[in-house]
Amino acid sequence: MRSPSIDFFYAKTEKLVDLSESYTQIDGLAFIIKACRMKPYDYVFGQKSNRLVLHRWWFDEFGNSLKLIKTKKAKIVYNDLHLDRKRIVCTDLYYGLSMDKVAKMSKLAYICAGKDEDTYQDCFLVSFLGLDNYLRSYLYMYGEWEQVSPLLMGMGHLKFLAEHHDVKQWIKLGKKENLPIPCNSGSAWLTYLPASSELLALLNKDHEILAAILRNAK
């Protein structure tokens, strides 16, 4: 089935997206909504209206939700059982491409590294911001990569990316920042692509897999 144009959708709903950021006063929320391909639930599945109304329930293409609660905060609901996944359409024409190809068509990478809480094996979360300004994320656990929702980064990490998506080199997050996925000893970096030789050398010491992925982005 042909994927509908997400760019066309956001052109029609731009005011709805901007209203969400204005209501919550969360800087970068409009960027996050678009980068994660989220849509307002009532607008998509309910009765469409031309009136400008605040939509408190947004969902992504992986079955997760973003709820704007009355305290003007944004809450992520993972694997939202109130969503009918059969009705959710994938709009990413590049979904399913290898990470190497996605990396080469991206301008930014957000990488997290840690250890699984139970097995203490390596676990990684890598998100690429494409030249089209959409995020594509991959989770490495138990020796395998899986494409996942960018919402797994968590609101704190997504806000950081939204505020620094024009980074010219690379940034290491503070020690208080941990992996949004259930891992211990988390570290995270935000880097432009292609990554600098300095960052590649740093990652190669402890995370050869991550270094190899960024090296292939050239």
pLDDT value at position 216? 81
In this structure, which amino acid lies at residue 47? Answer: Q
pLDDT over 50 (residue 2): no
Within 10 Å of residue 43's Cβ, how many Cβ atoms? Answer: 18
| Bridge partner residues of 192 (DSSP) | 108
Query: What distance in Å separates the CA atoms of residue 49 and residue 51, rounded to the nearest whole number?
Result: 5
- Cα 129 to its chain centre, rounded Å, is 8
Q: What percent of the chain has pLDDT over 90?
A: 68
What's the mean pLDDT in 47-74? 89
Does pLDDT of 32 surpass 80? yes
Express the helix, strand and coil content of the chain in percent, nearest 5 each. Answer: 35, 25, 40
d(CA 174, CA 189): 9
pTM of the predicted model as reported, rounded to 2 decimal places? 0.91
Q: Is the pLDDT of residue 182 over 70?
A: no
Going by C-alpha positions, the residue among 26, 28, 61, 55 that lies closest to residue 42 is 55
Q: Compute the distance between CA of residue 99 and CA of residue 11 in angstroms, rounded to an integer.
A: 28
Q: Is 196 exposed, middle or buried (0-12, 13-18, 19+ CB in 10 A)?
A: middle
Say how far apart CA 197 and CA 111 lie, in whole Å. Answer: 16
Task: Reply yes or no on whether the pLDDT at 152 is more than 70.
Answer: yes
Q: What percent of the chain has pLDDT over 70?
A: 90
Task: Look at residue 205 and give its three-state secondary structure.
Answer: helix
Q: What is the mean pLDDT of the chain?
A: 89
- Give the pLDDT confidence of 84-142 residue by residue, as tens digits: 999 999 999 999 899 999 999 999 999 998 877 676 788 899 999 999 999 999 999 88
Please give the average per-residue pLDDT across 16-40, as a whole number.
Answer: 95
pLDDT(151) > 90: yes
Choose among 44, 37, 5: nearest CA to 149.
Answer: 37
**Residues 15-44, mean pLDDT to the nearest whole number:** 95
Token couple for 84: 């009918």
pLDDT at 175: 53
Half-sphere exposure of 181 (CA within 13 A, CB side): 27
| DSSP-derived 3-state class of residue 147 | strand
Residue 210 · residue 113 · CB < 8 Å: yes
Both structure tokens of 47: 């009765």
Q: Is 4 buried (19+), middle (13-18) or exposed (0-12) by CB count in 10 A?
A: exposed
